[in-house]
Structure formats: C-alpha cells, structure tokens
Amino acid sequence: MRFKNILLTTFTAILYHFSASCAWAQEKSLDATINEAVAPWTDRIFKIIFFAPITIAGQPIPFILIWLAGTGIFLTFHFKFINLRALGLACRTVRGKYSSPSDPGEISHFQALTAALSATVGLGNIAGVAIAISKGGPGAAFWMIVIGFLGMTTKFAECTLGVRYRDIDANGKVQGGPMKYLTKGLAERGWAKLGKFLGITFAILCVGASLGGGNMFQINQACSQFVEISGGSESILANYRWVFGAVIAVLVAVVIIGGIRRIANVTSRLVPLMCLTYILGALVIVGLHLTEVPGAIKLIIEQAFTPDAYVGGLIGAMLVGIQRGTFSNEAGIGSAPIAHSAVKTSKPASEGIVALLEPFIDTIVVCSLTALVIVLTGTYGPDLTSANGIEVTSQAFASVISWFPFVLFVAVTLFAISTLLSWSYYGQQAWNSLFGAGKVADLSYKILFCICIVIGAAASLGAVTDFSDGMLLGMCFPNLIGVYFLLPVIREELTAFQLYAKAIDGQDDPK
C-alpha cells in the first residue's frame, strides 16, 4: 500500500508540474509552455533507455535494439518459422473456426485483433516510415520490414502468455498482459520476487508509454496534418494546436468510459475503414508509377546495405529502420497481450497465432506501401530530416494527387483516434495493476490520459518522439525477460492448440 501511495504521489506531482507551467505562462503561448515543460523529462528518459554500450563504424548501438532484434531472430528459429507456417491457421482462427460460444473472455478473435491493430496500424506506418526514410534513407524501410517479419513470432509468444495468465473476475471482466504473466508465470517457476519486480516495472513503463507513444505522438501528428491542410504556419491553428487536442480529448473520453467492449466495438469498425482508405490511396500512387516500382524496390534493397553518405552508413540505416519498425508494430513491447487477453477462448495459443497477423498487416503490408509512395515520388532526403513525419508523407501524396492531403487527414485522424482508444485501455490496465481497480483510480487515469492529448497536440515532434520511444521501447526489457523464462509454457500451449485444431480440421475432412 505504501508503494502504491508513493507512485500515485509521483504521478500527481508530474501532472501538477505540467499544470503549473501552463497556468502561469503569461508571456508565452500555451503551446510553447507545454513544450518547455515536456522537453526536460524526455531528454532524461531518452538517455536512459537508449544507452549505447558499443560503437560500430562510428555509430553508437543502443542495447535495446540488439535486445529486440536478437529476440525476434531467436524466437523465429526456436519456433521453426511459425510466422510463415501458421498464416493459414491464423486466418481460420480469426474467422472463429476453433471458437465456442462457451469460451471465457469478453471479445471475439476478430475484435481482439482489430483492437490490437488499432494501436499499431497507425501513425507509425505513415509518419514513422517517413521519419525512418528521411533519417536513414530508403534502405531503412527494408529493415523495418525485416523487423516486422521477426516480430510476428515475438507477438505470437507474448500474446499466448497474455491469455494463459489472465484473470477473469466475477463480472466477466478480464485483467491480462505482462503485468499478470510476469508475476504469476515467474512465481510458478520459483521466481516470485523477480516476477513481482518486473511486473511493477512494466506497469510503470506502460503507463508512460500510453501517455507518450499511444497518445501524444498520435495526436501530435494528426494535428500537424490538420495545420498543414488549413494553411501551414499561416493557419490560425498553428499557435493554438491545443484546441485541436481538446476536441479529440472529448471524443476519446466518451468512448473510453465504456471499457474494452465499447473500445472493441468502435475499433472493429474503424480499423477496416481506415486501413482500406489509406491502402487504396497508396495503391493509386503505386499504380500511377507502376513502371517505376521495380526500380524503387531495387533502390530500397540496395540502400539497405549501401546507403547514401548522408545516412551515416549501413549501421545508421539499420538502426533507424529497426527503431521505427519496432515503434510501428510494437512486437516484444508487451502492449498487444493486454488487448488479446480479453479474447473469448479456452486455448491460449489460439490467440497467439492470431496475433502474428498484426506485424504482417502493420509492417509488411502498410509500411511497405508507405515506403513505396515516398520513394516513388522522391519525397525524401537530407533536407527533410527535420520535417514532421506526417508532412513528408503528405507531400509525397500531394505530389501526385493535389487534394489527397485532405483524404490523408481523415485517415490520419482515424488512425490517431483508434490508437488513442486502444492505448487508453493498455494504460488503464497497467494503472489498475499499480493502484488497484477502483473508481477513483480509474477516473484519475482517464483524466490524466485526456490531459495528455492536449499536451501532445501542442508539443514539438522531437520532444514527443523521444518520450514515446523511450517509454514504449523500455517496456521490452521486463516483458522479454518473462518470455524467455516462460518458453516451456508457450511450447506447451502451442502443442495443445495444434492438436485441437487438427482434430477440428479432421472433422471437416470429407474423407
């Protein structure tokens, strides 16, 4: 109880610091005041999370990127490329072939997938790809796709654990995610104290990530696109970005009050719509440059290994690609298991199999299309490295279809809202694991989340991106430690589900 009080006091103090900074700013705009308040915190977090123990070819190598990519490679080989072998099984599971009405949980496989996708198929695919290519050259897109492929297996592993160790209360509400499988799973294997420490650490980072990458980055980019289509720096909104954030905050508040069921109902409609809108727009651009596509693909692959001088070398392109790719699909971060834990199923690995579709859709499909659009239109280079990510993508589309930035604004806003909804649930679950599931704790988090929407709209991209990357990527440390410890459990659940699915498939065999 004492520890919970200390944590709650700390969060309250941070919120008070932001509020006081904003309230007493008389000579500066609210936007500038908010940015000055956020920047010092992001600088400290960035230095801690992106500690670089080694340097190769003049490029510092953050340990966190070695940890994420290395785990993806290990798990892919350990599970014998299940990210390729299980694609058909995943599609059948999403359709509900192996489900029963009596299965415990709150939402269907499809709703769980769209709820998790709404947090990943978003601005990481639009703005994130643009940032990666602007900083790391076209080759960075190649490394984003590679990390997406490896991330399919990581998602399978962590989401299987999410369902295995979830809690379901008397009202049928689910509490799940790394907070549960770190504490319960490691306790089963005789590491109770380590599990408790890792669970608390993860929960703290998850709350921070929900306010950063799942909130402030999303609204920041949506607001930037709105400013651009309404006149850019000459727009009246340019100095009052917080107004846009306030409007979105109200809309989000209306939905998140209803919990995961309402969130799942909204995202199950939003995700297919926003994906279709964006993919169709990208395909139009690709279609108009069809003869140039082979050359663009060749350039991306060549630049992945022999990048331009401004990129900073091969290691630079690789690091940028891996960093932005991980931010895009969140594999290994531990966020997706929170959403997938609410699924209706009696076979934990069934949802793990479904979860591997996320990085495939998110990174391999959507990010690849964004990269092709940017490369085909030539909207990248050292002169754009300081631009907002969404502005680069918008310029790429506008260079071919002058009015498409307006369509992109609609897609971006839908992406941002859906991501905000899912991450509000992730943060809420982490918050509850720290302070308990009560009305006061529940309301305090939702108020804080909505305030951060306003802060994110006003803050600069640099401060927001550093804070987002730091807190979100930091979650992978406690999460993947748990995955390694619980590999035998994942193998056990996978075998059980494969036998079950084989039996069901055998019943459908006409022979």
Least confident among 42-46, 189-193, 286-290, 363-367: 42-46
Q: Is the pLDDT of residue 44 over 80?
A: no
- Report pLDDT for 211: 82
Q: Tens of pLDDT along 345-359?
A: 889 999 999 999 888
DSSP labels for 19-72? HHHHHT-SSS-HHHHHHHHHHHHHHHHHHHHT---EEETTEEE-HHHHHHHHHH
Spatial neighbors of 423 by CB under 8 A, at least 6 apart, are 119, 209, 210, 213, 214, 215, 218, 335
- Report pLDDT for 27: 43
In a domain, 509, yes or no: no
Task: Please state the rounded mean pLDDT for residues 115-119.
Answer: 71
Task: Please state the rounded mean pLDDT for residues 184-193.
Answer: 92
- Report pLDDT for 10: 53
Q: What is the pTM of this model?
A: 0.79
* Residue bearing the bigger pLDDT, 379 or 370: 370
- Report pLDDT for 186: 94
- The residue type at 60: P
Distance of CA 382 to the CA centre of its chain: 27
- Report pLDDT for 256: 73
CATH label of the domain that carries residue 359: 1.20.1740.10
DSSP state at residue 365: I
In a domain, 100, yes or no: yes
- The residue type at 2: R
The closest alpha carbon to 143, from 295, 293, 278, 315, belongs to: 315
With H, G, I as helix, E, B as strand and everything else as coil, classify residue 339.
helix
**Which residues are registered as beta bridge partners of 60?**
55
Given the DSSP bridges, would you call strands 59-61 and 167-168 parallel, antiparallel or unpaired? unpaired
Token pair listed for 46: 């960035």
DSSP labels for 286-335? HHHTGGGHHHHHHHHHHHHHS--GGGTSHHHHHHHHHHHHHHHH-TTTSS
Task: Please state the rounded mean pLDDT for residues 380-384.
Answer: 58
The closest alpha carbon to 415, from 247, 222, 226, 284, belongs to: 222
Mean confidence (pLDDT) of the chain: 77
For 147, the domain range is: 29-501
Query: Rounded CA gap, 384 and 57, in Å?
Result: 24
In a domain, 130, yes or no: yes
Q: Is the pLDDT of residue 309 over 50?
A: no
Angle, in degrees to the nearest 10, between helices 139-164 and 368-377 = 170
The closest alpha carbon to 483, from 65, 199, 154, 78, belongs to: 154
Q: Tens of pLDDT along 427-481?
A: 888 998 888 767 777 788 888 888 888 887 776 655 555 666 677 778 899 999 9
Reported as a pLDDT band with limits 50, 70 and 90, residue 108 is confident
In a domain, 334, yes or no: yes
In a domain, 497, yes or no: yes
Q: Is the pLDDT of residue 417 over 90?
A: no
Q: Is the pLDDT of residue 121 over 70?
A: no
Token pair listed for 42: 């992001």
The closest alpha carbon to 458, from 161, 249, 154, belongs to: 249
Task: Please state the rounded mean pLDDT for residues 127-155.
Answer: 81
Q: Is the pLDDT of residue 217 over 60?
A: yes
Distance of CA 242 to the CA centre of its chain: 23
**Which residues are registered as beta bridge partners of 59?**
56
- Report pLDDT for 323: 67
With H, G, I as helix, E, B as strand and everything else as coil, classify residue 175.
strand
Task: Please state the rounded mean pLDDT for residues 313-330.
Answer: 66
Q: Is the pLDDT of residue 377 over 90?
A: no
- Report pLDDT for 58: 67
In a domain, 121, yes or no: yes
Q: Is the pLDDT of residue 8 over 60?
A: no
Count the domains in the chain.
Answer: 1
In a domain, 304, yes or no: yes
Q: Is the pLDDT of residue 381 over 70?
A: no
In a domain, 22, yes or no: no
- Report pLDDT for 276: 78
- Report pLDDT for 458: 74
- Which ranges in 165-258 belong to alpha helices (H)? 178-180, 186-188, 192-211, 217-229, 241-256
Distance of CA 51 to the CA centre of its chain: 21
- Report pLDDT for 69: 85
Q: Is the pLDDT of residue 310 over 70?
A: no
Let me know how long the chain is: 511
Q: Tens of pLDDT along 238-278?
A: 667 778 888 888 888 877 776 666 666 666 676 677 777 77
